[in-house]
Structures are given as C-alpha cells and as structure tokens.
Amino acid sequence: MRGYGRVMTDTVFSLGGELPLRRLGLGTGGLVGPGYWGPRGSRSDAVALLRAAVAQGVRLVDTADNYGPELAEELVAEALHPYGDGLVVATKGGVVRTGPDEWHVAGRPGELRRMCEASLRRLRVERIDLYQLHRFDPAVPMAEQLGELARLREEGKIRHIGLDTVSAPQLREALECVPVASVQNPYNLLDRSSAQVLALCEERGIAFLPYYPLGSGALTGGGAAAVTGVAAAHGAAVGQIALAWLLHRSPVLCPTPGTGSPAHLAQNLAAVSIRLAPGEVALLDAVAGG
C-alpha cells in the first residue's frame, strides 16, 4: 500500500469519525464530457491528472457511477488502484444518466443494490469507503432506500453512507434511519441556500461536500468586487479565495472542485495555504448576504 505526505491539522476532517482526510479534495466531473456524458480529452491525460492530485496531497476523490456514465469510476480505478493508505474514494448511485444533462432517479432497493455492486466492480474494491445516495427517489419511501444502503453496509460493501441534495428536514429524517457520514449540497460564496443543512452537519459532525464550490464558474470569471479585492491582497486567483473561504467558513466543509487541467488543479490545491484575516472572512461572508 502506498502512503502520502503530512497533512496540516487544521485542514483535516475525520469522515465518519474514523477516516482522516484532507478537506480539499478532487471531484471527477471535470474528467468527463459536457453534461457528464462521454470523455473530455484523452484518457491518459485524465489518468495523469488523478495521479497528480494524489501526489499533491488529495485524500478524497469524489466520483459517481453516472459520470460518463461509468467512465469516471473506470478512470479512478485505472489511475489509482490499488488505493493507498489514507485515500478515500467516494462514489454515488441512485440516478441513471440517459444523455448529456439527462437523467432520472432510480431508488428502488434492487436498483440501488445493482448500482452499488457495479461500482464495486468498476472501482475494483470489495468495500466503498463512502457511498452517497445521489437523489432520494420520491416514488420510493425514504426508509426503503436507506434500508437497502444499511444492508449493503452490514454486508461490508459500504463503509459509510452519504446523501446528495437533501433538505434539513430530510437529513433529520434520514438520521433516524442510518448513520450519515456526509452530505453533498450546493454551497459557495454566492449560494448559501443550504445554510440550515450546514448547521445540522456541524451539530452532528457530518462532512459537507459543497458542490459547485466555485459557483459554477460565476466567481472564477471575475466575481464580486469584494472577492477580487481579497484575491489581489493575497496575490491569489478569485477561485482560490472562494475555496479558502469555504475552508474558513466551517470545519465540516470539504470542497471537492473538479478540473481537467493540471495547472488549475495545482491552483485549487494551493488554496489550502491561504490564511484569511477575520475582516476578510467577514467581507466575503457579506458577498451573498452572509
């Protein structure tokens, strides 16, 4: 098994209370084509980027069975298997992609089991560290969906259960059924709509993996004047400040920005070293009304 370098204590989160990981990870949506369909660039470039991310200290790689579909999981396995000590590979199931930006939920217990077992094969593992339900299926009782994930966990096929795109009431209800190790909701400088979910995650010690951590590109192209001002003061890119703010905002926030560019990867990961002053954090808090 491979090992990885030292991680700064204040940038580490203990997933499920037992898996320490660097709070700034890598999402794999940027390795597949537009609308999460087909390849983006060459396979060799994607494999090289995944290996570079781990070499630069990434401890959390976040993927999904419908990215590609199936392609992102295959790339992760090709690049990183056998997975080194301390590397957490998370994936998701519960939706079926039928085309670019086209998908439907599929949360019947049998469907979830087939998806999970297919991910196990593609990732070449006997147990998935973090398996996230990509969406709750409104046609299937929540208890049935979570019950199947709990059974997969009891069978040793899932180590921890996560949820994607949930409300605070849904999270509370889910916690009555199963232990939840992570939540993946939109959250960034411009979108604080999941503030109640974040507060509940802080209360329960649940990792919050914000998707669109860079505001889906809205900030990286220039963004608000306050953000560009802070970026200039640090000699940093706007995207780096957006990531640094997330790391300062809450100790449970674990952003996993995606990219297909080695230069952008290095830039994103360098955000972990940016130390924002309290006044700068307050200024950034006000960008979307705090």
**pLDDT, tens digit (0-9, with 9 covering 90-100), for 219-242:** 655 557 889 999 999 999 999 999
What's the pLDDT score for residue 216?
Answer: 62
What lies within 8 Å, CB to CB, of 267 at 6+ separation is: 237, 239, 240
The verdict on whether 67 is a catalytic residue reads yes
Nearest alpha carbon to residue 182 among 165, 161, 200, 203 = 161
Nearest alpha carbon to residue 253 among 215, 217, 202 = 202
Name the active-site residue from 4, 36, 67, 211: 67
- The pTM score is 0.93
Model confidence at 166: pLDDT above 90: yes
20 vs 59: CA distance, rounded Å: 8
What's the pLDDT score for residue 217?
Answer: 62
Question: Domain 9-217+252-257: which CATH class?
Answer: alpha beta
Instruction: Transcribe 148-178 into DSSP letters.
Output: HHHHHHHTTSEEEEEEES--HHHHHHHHTTS
Residue 13 — very low, low, confident or very high, per pLDDT cuts 50/70/90?
Answer: very high
Residue 24 — very low, low, confident or very high, per pLDDT cuts 50/70/90?
Answer: very high
Kindly report, residue by residue over 171-216, the tens digit of the pLDDT: 999 999 999 999 999 999 999 999 999 999 999 999 999 988 987 6
Model confidence at 88: pLDDT above 90: yes
Residue 123 — very low, low, confident or very high, per pLDDT cuts 50/70/90?
Answer: very high
Domain range summary for the chain, segments of one domain joined by +? 9-217+252-257
Nearest alpha carbon to residue 58 among 77, 83, 91, 30 = 83
Model confidence at 96: pLDDT above 90: yes
Kindly report, residue by residue over 130-165, the tens digit of the pLDDT: 999 999 999 999 999 999 999 999 999 999 999 999
What's the pLDDT score for residue 220?
Answer: 59
